[in-house]
Structure 1
Amino acid sequence: MAAPANASEPDVAEPSPQRRSSRRSFLRNSLRATAAGAVGLGLYSWQIEPHWVEIIPQTMPLVGLPAALAGRRIVQVSDLHVGEAVDNDYLRATLRAIADLKPDYLALTGDFMTANRFEHLDRVMTTLAEAPIAEVPTFACLGNHDFGKRFRDREIADRLTDRLDSAGVRVLRNASVEIDGLQWAGSGDLWAGECDVWNALDTIDTSRGAILLAHNPDIADVRGYRDFRGWILSGHTHGGQVRFPLLGSPVVPVKNRRYKRGHVRLDASRDLYVNRGLGHSLQVRLLARPEVTVYTLAQA
């Protein structure tokens, strides 16, 4: 039945002035909290995390490791990016503290500098002088930034290699060496067009485990490993550098996105470890703290 024409509409209560004021206050406070959180997160990712180094312990089992080497330590440092973008006092202090980790060997996995040509060579050497490279055997590979702005200038890489070698850093560019019964190899950089895993491992005794230094972790997928058994130590990715909860890292400079950070079991005979590095090209890190990795050798 239709309502009478003169029936009045039900009254709709208007919000009280106090309620409207409370709602506006809530919105203002929410916006302020969101803005403050965004500013705080920005400051944290710019000023705090890029210099908040994490020490990562990692066991490294190797087939055929001499019993006398079990328990010895390898300290890996990667991606210093000495240059204008990275606070040199921070780098020097971090390298100076490595002595406290009691390393038996040092592994340096490339991107020593960010430079157009030779302008930061001297700074690289004075920075590295803070690390205990004179006290312990030190091995290295080069990274793409060590070949200049376009990653292809071998004259820059050659001069850096000479300076590092003269300071006691054994730079392995598609070569290998053995010391104390421990096999080390190093690959040329992938992006620089110098990678040759076959030659890097040419003199390795494949009945025993070995350590391959290779800046770019995508090297794990190239050919040339034959019967290699051991670990590949890399850097390059900065751990994704910026990671968002649930979304992950939007930009990672590798083809194989499995190789973003940390330990990756490749197959029955090979392990990969991707170090997050110490430096940066752009000063920002979020959920990807700079890293120094400490490996403890063990018999497999």
Structure 2
Amino acid sequence: MPALGVWINAIWILLFASFDAAFSSYSEDQCSWRGSGLSQQQGSVEQISLHCSEGTLDWLYPKGALRLTLSPRLPSVAVGPGGSSSGLITACVKPSEQFHGAQLYLERDGVLELLVGDRLESSPPPRVRCFSRLPGERVALFLQATPHQDISRRIASFRYELRGDWTARLSLDSNPISSEEACRPCNNTEILMAVCTSDFVVRGNIRSVVEDDNLRAAVIKVSATRVFRQKYALFTGNSRLTSRGEVRTLLQCGVKPGPGSFLFTGRVHFGEAWLGCAPRYKDFQRAYTIAKAAQQIPCELPVD
């Protein structure tokens, strides 16, 4: 008579195989893919095309492999903070803290590079990994299941973002850009462009700076006296005069709390605000006034 554990495993297999077809789905509106590997053959590769600039993937009971083609619907010209247009696309993946059962590779012109390995229960959470793609370069993600004898619940899950070349300043890859480039103060042209293209534009003061060694980032706690624009509810509060929020930047930039009013601009990266240009507000005012008099401002901002 079969052991009880064998019967339990068989029941689980039948249960999940029965709804496997219904479970596998792709939502173009939500830019998400969910599926189960129970119906895949051991050596099979399922082809999936991701057309959104950001989304999620959840692979239950990984088996075989998935090849993910990145075809985002981005503007024809990717404009950086300085108004440049290189056509460079930066992609980032953020594995879930419970990422198990597979290994994620970057496939670039037929060559595989490991981005995220299959992790043990005791392993620290996997980090965000970023890479860039040049125009015409063939890039895909290859998610390969790791063989396991047990049938315990395993899910290979991650979020992804694909953006223009401005995200190079936000890279949290294990091979980040140089500190000199990442922490370089913005010039006046970059500041004025950041006001037009950033996900948030906020005037405020630095309350404190907290270092997060695990994230390799400095968390700047901001008291915002004026929110010009924000893509998400990043800066909120009960007071009519001030709101509070957090902005992250690379740890090696050495940001310290100090007096004075700043103009914080930047991008939302996996739901978190990351710093772009942050001049002192009086310096921004001066640059804006000069550019406006010369009719060279890229967009209007109701400055004081």
Please, what TM-score do these two structures have when normalized by structure 1?
Answer: 0.28
Larger helix fraction of residues: 1
**Higher RCO, 1 vs 2 (CA within 8 Å, ≥6 residues apart):** 1
Larger strand fraction of residues: 2
Please, what TM-score do these two structures have when normalized by structure 2?
Answer: 0.28
